[in-house]
Structure 1
Amino acid sequence: MSTLERARCSVRAHPWALDAGVAAGVLGCMVAGSFVTPRGTDGASWGARTPAALSLLLMLLAAGALVFRRRAAMPVLAVTGTLAVVECVTGDPRAPVTMAAVVALYTVASTTDRTTTLRVGLLTMTVLTAAAMLGGPLPWYAQENLGVLAWTGIGATAGDAVRSRRAVVQAIRERAERAERTREEEARRRVAEERLRIARDLHDVVAHHIALVNVQAGVAAHVMDKRPDQAKEALAHVREASRSALDELRATVGLLRQSGDPEAPTEPAPGLSRLEDLAGTFRSAGLPVEVARAGPDADLPAAVELAAYRIVQEALTNVQKHAGTGARAEVSVVRVGPDIEVTVVDDGPGGPSAPGTGGGHGLLGMRERVTALGGTLTTGPRYGGGFRVHAILPVKTRTETPTA
């Protein structure tokens, strides 16, 4: 820390000492000025006159009041201004008690707003100048009287300039602190969004494949003794589902790797082109699934394709888990104007663990995906039995910028 910084810290820690030092300095200047007599164009002479006792008393009282200038700026200005008026009327007009009033006016201007500074400054300037011109022994046009006018104006102007500079510095500091808080909040928001996205992807992958593994393992356990060939086929499906789960988990976790890592996966994210493969995994688990698609999808953004794929995956997983035996599912992906409509319905009877009644994260994850793209999601039971998931995804998402 430099010497200047240490001095500033010491002044902030002991404000009374600074005010007392300023008051002592002003008192010394006033006393020294009271011994000086001007000689017109030949300069000034020192010691040609001696101040009266009343003038010395007024100087001492004015300097003592300056000790409290920062704690009670307005009262100190009133006291010093009154003492200066008394000096102008009764004392030696060259005794500089007005100097204390100028310092007090500077303090008021540096600690209040501009409107208050203007009003108080004009009032102080008018009262002191009028007292010197009308009540003093010198002619009204004397240079001492004009000096009172000039010095009070300089004090108010200097105080206002200091206040303006402090306000600018404080605004810059607050703006920097606000920008730092905004950056920290943005970083925390991005981290939270990334964690939510990864958790959503992991849920979709794990829930889908574990549901298939659970169904196929149940089939294998049921037919192991009577139909070993069917049990072997079910175990093969279990193996395939577990391998697919591991591959997708590896791809999802690979997103956490740093950019440029050669071990990071490079395969594209799943999209609508893999709907038939997705439906085939459910068909192999015993759930009849029909897929219908209409409209071109070659120009769809990757985010929209991934969201549509995950919505279908989670909806079919819910059908597999909650619709009951004998249920059938239908999937339709239709391009309607600027939107993609994804619909998954089933005709299962459902039960107490239906998707709309549980506390799982499947429907919540679908809604978060759709909301992130600016779309809408509607879920609920169908009239006559079954469940329906309907999502509308805009092709031009909120994160895209329009082209010319």
Structure 2
Amino acid sequence: MRAHPMAGDSLLAGLLLLLDLLLYSSISESGAEPPAWYIAVPLDIAVVAPLVFRRKRPLIAAYLVYVVSYAHSALDLGAAGAIALAVSLYSVLVYVGRKHGLIYAAALVIAAVAAALPRSQPDWGVQLSFSIFAIAFCWILGEFMYARRAYQRELEARLHLLETERDQAARIAVAEERGRIARELHDVVAHSVSVMVVQADGAALALQAKPDLAGRALRTISETGRGALGELRRLLDVLRNDSGDGEPRVPQPDATALGDLAERIRGAGVPVDLRLDGELSALPAGLSLGIYRIVQESLTNTLKHAGAGAHAAVRVQLTGDQVEIVVRDDGAGRARRLEQVGATGPVSAAPAPGRAPAPRLSVAGGNGVIGMRERANVYGGTLEVGPAAGGGWQVRAVLPVRLGS
């Protein structure tokens, strides 16, 4: 019936027509005088035919049955007319609504009263009560099915909404994961390649005059390249392999590994003064990784852009509920005001009282600065990137600490 509604309704109409034709044949065999067959058979067909499209056009079908059933009932042609009226009331209530169902039910009550009052049978009251009871039963059944269909529609709408939200959440998660992977790849590749380029340039210059120094530079290049390849393999293995097979996974670096990072930068030719204040090992893993990556990217930029003879100073201080990260070098640069970068975008710091506003400085928006800004925003912190007040370049980040997260 649900898969092929018109076929099921046609079967119902055929059964009602067969019932009336059998009643008509039994009346003819009993010797009574039934209406002529050319009147009875068309009326029987006409009273059940609208049921075929009762779901597509419920109001039209219901009122066609209502009109034809009056003549069908007046000639006592069988029970198909009464059953068709009950089915029509049910169809109007379920497929159209309560308002039209109430109007149709009132029309049926009026027709039942009009058909019962003129008759002189003593049981006309019983017949009228039975008709009203049948109407009430069809109404209750229709109300039940109407509520069930409304609940089913609401349930389907909610399921569709949940599926849409699930797909959106999946797309957001994929985008966030792609951004995280891009940041990790950039941090690994940019840092290692920068060290290798600097060492290669130094080795090329010292190859003839100082072969020992060139040899140490080449060994540093080899070690840095192997380390970068190892980190890339581990990161790509996480993407390719969902099972626990393969090489053992090494934890991501954290703030406690800043000493090793400083040693690598010193080996690349940039002296680094590292100062760690506070118990950094107690920081959450994600925040600790963010601190490491910000310092790594800052030192990588120092290695690439500060110039020969530059020194770098790194200070990571845990005070109360926040971590302050300051990475500064004394490379080429002039004193200008910093540009603060927070969660809502760039906000320029106000000039000192009595001084003219400094010219606006646009901080380079490379992938490294973008990655540091995103890491700071993830933890609700701020990032300042720009020339230092006394010369050189400075990166300053302040990240809130949530130990319970």
Please report the TM-score for the alignment, with normalisation by the length of structure 1: 0.77
Q: Deviations over 1:324-383 (max 9, x none)?
A: 3444333221223222222223343369xx99335x421222233333444443434445
Superposition deviation, residue 167 in structure 1: 4.0
Tell me which residue corresponds to 1:65.
50
Residue 244 (str. 1) matches residue 227 (str. 2): yes
Conserved? CA contact 2:386–2:394, under 8 Å: yes
**2-side partners of 1:48 and 1:166: how far apart?**
49
Structure 1 counterpart of 2:199, from 195, 216, 224: 216
1:25 is aligned to 15
Q: Which residue of 2 aligns with 1:98?
A: 82
- Contact in 2 for aligned 1:312/1:344 (Cα 8 Å): yes
- Computed over aligned residues only, the root mean square deviation of the Cα atoms, in angstroms, reads 3.7
Distance across 1 between alignment mates of 2:104 and 2:333: 84
CA 1:81–1:379 in 2, change beyond 3 Å: closer, same or farther? farther
Residue 364 of structure 2 aligns to a residue in which SS? coil
**Equivalence for 1:330:** 313
Please tell me whether the aligned partners of residues 73 and 107 of structure 1 are also in contact (alpha carbons under 8 angstroms).
yes
Separation (CA, whole Å) in 1 of partners of 2:127 and 2:396: 90
Cα distance in 2 for residues equivalent to 1:338 and 1:139: 94
SS at match of 2:53: coil
Q: Deviations over 1:82-106 (max 9, x none)?
A: 3344566x55598763332222112
Distance 2:189 2:252 in 1: 16
Aligned letter for 1:362?
G
Maintained 8 Å contact 1:315/1:389: yes
Instruction: Output aligned runs, 1:253-272, within 5 Å.
Output: 253-256=236-239, 257-261=241-245, 263-265=247-249, 267-272=250-255
Q: 2:93 maps to what in 1?
A: 109
SS at match of 1:388: strand
1:228 to 211, 220, 241: 211
Q: Deviations over 1:106-134 (max 9, x none)?
A: 21122133x33652354234323332344
Over 3 Å counting, the alpha-carbon distance change for 1:26 and 1:258 in structure 2 is closer
Q: Structure 1 residues 389 and 356 mapped into 2: Cα distance closer, same or farther (>3 Å)? A: same
Identify which of 338, 348, 364 aligns with 1:357.
Answer: 364
Change (3 A) 1:390 1:246: same
Q: What SS does the corresponding residue of 1:356 show, helix, strand or coil?
A: coil
User: Aligned-pair distance for 1:174?
Assistant: 5.3
Change in Cα spacing, 1:21 to 1:258, as seen in structure 2 (3 Å) is closer
In structure 1, runs of 5+ residues without a counterpart are 1-6, 38-45
Give distance in 2, aligned partners of 1:100 and 1:136: 23
The sequence identity of aligned pairs, in percent, is 36
CA pair 357-34 structure 1, distance change in 2 beyond 3 A: same
Equivalent of residue 82 in structure 1, options 48, 51, 67: 67
Q: Distance in 1 between matches of 2:386 and 2:116?
A: 91
Which residue in the other structure is 2:285 paired with? 302
CA contact (8 A) 2:20 2:78 kept: no
TM-score using structure 2 length: 0.77
C-alpha change, 1:272 and 1:283, in structure 2 (3 Å) is: same
In 2, the alpha carbon distance for the partners of 1:49 and 1:311 equals 104
Using the alignment, how far apart are the partners of 1:198 and 1:281 within structure 2?
23
Q: Which segment drifts farther, 27-36 or 365-374? A: 27-36
Matches of 2:322 and 2:107, distance apart in 1: 73
- 1:264 aligned counterpart, secondary structure: coil
What amino acid does structure 2 have at the position aligned with 1:65? P
TM-superposed CA distance for 1:392, in Å, is: 3.0
1:287 aligns with 2:270: yes
How far apart are the structure 1 equivalents of 2:234 and 2:112?
A: 85
Q: Secondary structure at the match of 2:280?
A: coil
Is residue 47–residue 72 contact of structure 2 (8 Å, CA) maintained in 1? no
- Which range moves more in the overlay, 122-131 or 165-174? 165-174
C-alpha contact (below 8 Å) 1:52/1:91 kept by paired residues:
yes
1:395 aligned to 2:379? no
Provide the C-alpha distance between the structure 2 equivalents of 1:136 and 1:323, rounded to a whole number of angstroms: 111
Task: Give the structure 1 partner of residue 126 of structure 2.
Answer: 143
Q: Secondary structure at the match of 2:186?
A: helix
1:214 corresponds to which letter in structure 2?
A: V
Query: Which of 129, 140, 144 in structure 1 is aligned with 2:112?
Result: 129
Aligned to 1:4: none
Q: 1:91, 1:143 → 2: CA distance?
A: 20
Q: CA deviation at 1:211?
A: 0.4
Which letter does structure 2 place at the counterpart of 1:20?
S
C-alpha separation between the residues in 2 aligned to 1:221 and 1:275? 29
User: Equivalents in 2 of 1:343, 1:47: separation in Å?
Assistant: 110
Query: 1:226 Cα deviation (Å)?
Result: 2.9
* Partner Cα separation in structure 2 for residue 381 and residue 148 of structure 1: 93
Distance across 2 between alignment mates of 1:331 and 1:374: 22
In the alignment of these two chains, the number of paired residues is: 376
Q: Please tell me the residue identity of whatever aligns with 2:82.
A: T
